[in-house]
Amino acid sequence: MHRRPLLGALMIAALGTAAMSAQAQQAARAFPEKPIRLVIAFPAGGPTDITMRQLAENASKVLGQPVIIDNKPGAGGTLPAQQLQTVQPDGYTLAQIPLGVFRLGYTTKINWDPIKDISYVLNVTGYAFGIVVPADSPFKNWADFVAYAKANPGKLTYGSTGTLTSPHLTTELVAQRAGIQLQHVPYKGSADLTLALMSGQLMAGADSTGWAPYVESGKMRVLNTWGDKRLQRFPDAPTLKELGYDIVQNSPFGIGAPRGTPPEVVKKLHDAFKQAMEEPSYLASLGKYDMVPIYMGSADYTRFARETVEREKAVIDKLGLGKPQ
């Protein structure tokens, strides 16, 4: 007796769903029809900002719409990924995904999943890191640094670009293996960290190579670098591996979109940013900071994210920096 109204309601619902699906498909085909916002994790003026602005400029030309950089520093570089949880999955808001995002579940109470709730578009590059000191520092090499720290536990201050960032965690891991205790001071980005180091507020800094011009001009000295081989510009600076620490850190990062972003949109974004990565202007901007392209497509980047979440848990546990249970 109620079958006809029920069938009618079901048909209307099905037609509505089909119409919405058709609209979504049409929007995906027409994408992009307006500017795209790319949220990055560090302030203006540092290596991340400068290289990502060049990438965005190149991608804008491919997509036919502006890609606008929005700097959201703080919270260990995880604010852009958190913003993805509050916007429409339409491809018009993207985020830089630093390695710190994969640590969030172990260090902070969050109501979203760094793997399930991000659509991984592609990985673009990583950093060249090192520990530097002012030119007038008594630490002429890493051995001097370690000797002072052992004689003065907890008194040697160093800065990084934020708590639970790769520079912070890697330095603490090295300190643990060296048997020394350091005092960490977090900053929001390379520019603030460099200013503090140059003004004598810190004894050392752990960062990507935003410090390179200061080393080249004789205002800073680099004690070690963190790649698998020495940096061409600083051939006298030993790697961590050469110093006896089996550690390599280049902290790959890429671009993510909100969960549920249509696959067609993700592919358009992937293809545009991959083409942007190959432009000489982007390669030149990376070269200024001893960075290189580290390309991973959407599937490989998603797999990398899953594996990194598991690997970072071991580091967090080893350092005792996990959130209280």
pLDDT tens digits along 182-240: 999 999 889 999 999 999 999 999 999 989 999 999 999 999 999 999 999 999 999 99
Task: Indicate the pairing of strand 36-40 with strand 93-97.
Answer: parallel
pLDDT at 142 over 50: yes
Identify the CATH number of the domain in which residue 264 sits: 3.40.190.150
pLDDT, residue 48, reads 94
Output the average pLDDT for the chain: 93
- 166 CB contacts (<8 Å, ≥6 apart)? 98, 99, 100, 127, 129, 249, 251
Residues 119 and 263 in one domain: yes
Report the CATH number that the domain containing residue 150 is assigned in CATH: 3.40.190.10
Full domain range(s) for residue 214: 129-225
Interatomic CA distance for residues 80 and 98, integer angstroms: 9
My answer on whether 213 and 300 are in the same domain is no
Among residues 176, 207, 225, the one where a domain terminates is 225
- Judgement on whether residues 147 and 103 belong to the same structural domain of the protein: no
pLDDT class of 20 with cuts at 50, 70, 90? very low
- Strand order through the sheet with 204-208: 183-186, 157-160, 204-208, 129-134, 220-225
Residues 181, 266: one domain?
A: no
pLDDT, one tens digit per residue, over 42-91 is: 999 989 999 999 999 999 999 999 999 999 998 888 999 999 999 999 99
pLDDT of residue 22: 58
Number of domains in the chain: 2
Statement to judge: residues 187 and 268 lie in one domain? no
Report which of residues 114 and 322 the model is more confident about: 114
> In terms of domains, do 199 and 265 share one?
no
pLDDT for 312 beyond 60:
yes
State yes or no: pLDDT of 150 exceeds 70: yes
Residue 190 lies in a domain: yes
Q: What is the CA radius of gyration of the chain?
A: 23
The mean per-residue pLDDT over the stretch 256-261 comes to: 99
More confident residue, 166 or 11: 166
State mean pLDDT over 9-14: 67
| 83: amino acid identity, one letter | Q
Average pLDDT of span 298-318 = 94
Band of residue 27 on the pLDDT scale cut at 50, 70, 90: low
In the Cβ-directed half-sphere of 62, how many Cα atoms lie within 13 Å?
A: 18
- What is the sign of the dihedral through the CA atoms of 263, 127, 289 and 234? negative
Q: Are residues 111 and 151 in the same domain?
A: no
Select the more confidently predicted residue: 322 or 298: 298
Instruction: Taking residues 105-134, report their average pLDDT.
Output: 96
Instruction: Give yes or no for a contact between 121 and 114, defined as CB atoms under 8 angstroms apart.
Output: no
In a domain, 65, yes or no: yes
**pLDDT score at 76:** 81
Residue 8 lies in a domain: no
User: Torsions phi, psi of 57, nearest 5?
Assistant: -60, -45
**C-alpha to C-alpha distance for 18 and 247, rounded to whole angstroms:** 53
